Amino acid sequence: MTTQNTELIHPALTALSEDERLFRDSVYEFADREIRPVVRDMDEHAKIPRALVDKLFDLGVMGIEVPEAFGGAGASFFHAVLAVEALSRVDPSIGVLVDVQNTLVINALLRWGSDELKRRYLTKLAANAVGAYALSEAGSGSDAFALTTRAVDRGAEFVLTGRKLWITNGNEADIFIVFANANPESGYRGITAFLVEREFDGFTIGKKEDKLGIRASSTCELLFEECRIPRSNVLGEIGKGYKVAIETLNEGRIGIGAQMIGLAQGALDHAIRYTRERKQFGKAIAEFQAVQHQLARAATEIEAARLLVYNAGRLRDAGHPFLTEAAMCKIFSSEVAERVTSLAVNLFGGYGFVKDYPVEKLYRDAKIGQIYEGTSNLQLQTIAKQILG
């Protein structure tokens, strides 16, 4: 689909500045050219080729907020949102790779990293190093602070022991933000964030999960067996890792919202094209009012979700509170993605149920949106607490 046709599908994007629109369109054109031809192969083999990751670095989307002095684009958080949306229209697996890199890893380093950590790691993250964010554990999902990974203070270093699960980018990552409890007696106030390099002794990548959707995106187990971390690699303050986790995930949820609206738009793009081509009873099924109304409702829901995501991203960049807006955009966009991809499968009929056509993959990809970076129930609880005061 051309950029002109894209504009006709969602005209409310005139809310973007010209520079933002050009940026979004350039990322989408890259995705259409470089990613679309290999989407099915990546899904089947559950792997992102390193050559494609290198192209993402060359494009500049792996270091969007990194200051130019460190080799990054020096752009805004909102630009990261636009990039994730554009990439996810073609492949949500690539969208989440870029999302975690920017809205979680780089974002946390920018906010809590010492000058030394910024110099050491932001340059790498902007150039060729993939990042991952390691919070979840077997018994610590929605209850994010029930961590069992321990960090023992040995003076000049900490020694980490434990196991992390469901870590996005685990296979590709060179740099990990890892959360461990350095003072279990203090409960969540002992949680501390660390910068861990893939080559550190005692750190290994474990099992790679075989997933329903976003299969090209790696989701891995991380193992720490007496892994030694220099004291200088503490991110933020000792015992303040809970603050790093909470505040970074609030921003990360906007990124997942962007992934979901991109995914939904991609499914709608396919559905529109197919209904124009598919003929029944002597005419294209797009000419039937029942089909038109379903497409119209889907387009409306996507636009509503998009504006929620954009609003949350704008609030974040402006320095305004955005906790409620991030939760709202995340839950609504993930629900819209599931509904729209389901509709696309229905409109494709039998073809929608087979892998030769793209919508069954997007349908599988959509499910994770209501689970990771805070389940829908957690988002509802956040919203309820805010509106009830």
Token couple for 268: 């709608």
Q: Which of the residues are catalytic? A: 373
73: left (phi over 0), alpha (psi -120 to 50) or beta: alpha
Give the angle subtended at the CA of 256 by the CAs of 253 and 258, to the nearest 5°: 115
Question: Which candidate, 157, 333, 145, places its Cα nearest to that of 242?
Answer: 145
First-last CA distance in the chain: 46
Cα 174 to its chain centre, rounded Å, is 18
- Separation of alpha carbons 173 and 221, rounded Å: 12
Give the distance from CA 199 to its chain's centroid.
25
With b for 16 or more beta-carbon neighbours within 10 A and e for fewer, the 226-252 pattern comes to: ebbbeeebbbbebbbbbbbbeebbbbb
CB atoms within 10 A of CB 203: 20
